[in-house]
Structure 1
């Protein structure tokens, strides 16, 4: 009888956790200031650092779905930006007239950073012995 490999425990929970952590971390930085107070370019670097850190932490715990964890962190960070756009547009419909470009530029920083963080997490998991 051939045994099928069991999926890693809690992998899907880590996917959700990566999404939620990125959403809350980016949201905590992005949501409080008013739209006129935000400096966009420095914010993208903060989002990239948050994405690297979150993906690295979660991917270092799960080996098989590490790139999925990186993707879930990226989607969580992007969701925080979408939430901000939605609330700003509700308050002032002219405030985000270029929101698609805002999302594209953010994704250029966030997605590679999250995938890099996941890759670093995999390397850490393979190099650090587990007890």
Structure 2
């Protein structure tokens, strides 16, 4: 007996997918045989293994500190964002996104999200630190974050696209098999 899988009725019809256990299409007229829900990959991303999480964390903190340490050393009265962000740190953020795209099982958008967040997080760390010293120093901190967020996104997407292009030109990237 073939059991069918159907997406929940709350999803639009285009996103529902009915598949038999053997991988062939099922008859949609048999709702009593529905056992489990399978949603297309573009709705639910695959689970990350612990090594992928570690690689993402290492790349995040590498970018965070290579952007943050030179930026934190600049006196507050001379900071002009986004020009104050160190170019080397932004290149490291893009390079880390490229290496992650080539070497891990993380998806394209997971890499983009993590690497984009590293740049504004470094700026926000300065906002918090300076706020402890002088609470009136960063009155417009949301604008500071809004200014550096596109910069982080541009670095992350450039690096991830470069990694995807390199992977496409050299064949499939070497990815770890999930156990």
TM-score range, shorter chain: 0.7 to 0.9
Alignment map for 1:49-128 (pairs within 5 Å): 49-62=91-104, 64-128=106-170
CA-CA distance at 1:128 after TM superposition: 2.9
* Aligned equivalents of 1:86, 1:32: Cα separation in 2: 15
Deviations 1:69-112 (A, max 9, x none): 22111112221111010001111111111100110011121113
Q: Is the 8 A contact 1:14 1:69 kept in 2?
A: no
The TM-score, its normalising length taken from structure 2, stands at: 0.60
The TM-score, its normalising length taken from structure 1, stands at: 0.79
More helix by share: 1
Q: How many residues align?
A: 129
Alignment match, 2:78: 37
* Aligned equivalents of 1:30, 1:56: Cα separation in 2: 23
Alignment match, 2:53: 12
Gaps of 5+ in 2: 1-20, 23-45, 175-179
* Aligned equivalents of 1:77, 1:7: Cα separation in 2: 23
